[in-house]
Amino acid sequence: MKFSLSLEYLEYLANVYLVPFGIRLIIALLVFYVGKTIAKAIVRGVDKMTEGRLDDSLRRFLCSVLHGLLLAVVIIAALERLGVQTTAAVAILGAAGLAIGLSLQGTLGNFAAGVMLIIFRPYKIGDVISAGGHVGKVDGIEVFNTVLLTPDNRKIIIPNGQIAGGSIENLSAMPTRRVDMVFGIGYDDDIKKAKSILDELIAADERILKDPEPTVAVGELADSSVNFVVRPWVNSADYWAVKWDLTEAVKLRFDKEGISIPYPQQDVHMHNVAA
CATH number at residue 127: 2.30.30.60
Q: Which of 133, 161, 163, 134 is nearest to 149 (CA)?
A: 134
Q: Are residues 246 and 184 in the same domain?
A: yes
Q: What is the mean pLDDT of residues 110-131?
A: 84
How, if at all, do strands 134-141 and 215-221 pair?
unpaired
Q: What end-to-end distance do the CA atoms of the chain give, in Å?
A: 146
Q: Does the pLDDT value for residue 2 go beyond 50?
A: no
Of 39-48, 57-66, 93-102, least confident by mean pLDDT is 93-102
Q: What is the mean pLDDT of residues 116-141?
A: 88
Q: Does the pLDDT value for residue 177 go beyond 50?
A: yes
Give the CATH number for residue 226.
Answer: 3.30.70.100
**Based on the structure, what is the number of domains in the chain?**
3
pLDDT band of residue 148 (cuts 50, 70, 90) is very high
Q: Are residues 25 and 95 in the same domain?
A: yes
Domain boundary among the residues 74, 103, 132 is at 103
Asked whether residue 110 is domain-assigned, the answer is no
Q: Are residues 185 and 155 in the same domain?
A: no
- What was the pLDDT predicted at 168? 92
Q: What is the tens place of the pLDDT at every residue in 73-103?
A: 888 888 877 777 667 666 666 666 666 555 5
Domain of 53, in residue numbers:
8-103
Give the CATH number for residue 15.
Answer: 1.10.287.1260
Give the CA distances from residue 263 to residues 141, 158, 218, 224, 254, in Å, rounded to whole numbers and listed in that order: 45, 40, 18, 7, 14
Q: Does the pLDDT value for residue 241 go beyond 50?
A: yes
- Model pTM score: 0.59
Asked whether residue 269 is domain-assigned, the answer is no
Asked whether residue 144 is domain-assigned, the answer is yes
- What was the pLDDT predicted at 187? 92
**Which stretches within the chain are classed as H helix?**
2-13, 19-50, 56-82, 87-103, 105-120, 160-164, 191-204, 239-257
Residue bearing the bigger pLDDT, 8 or 27: 27
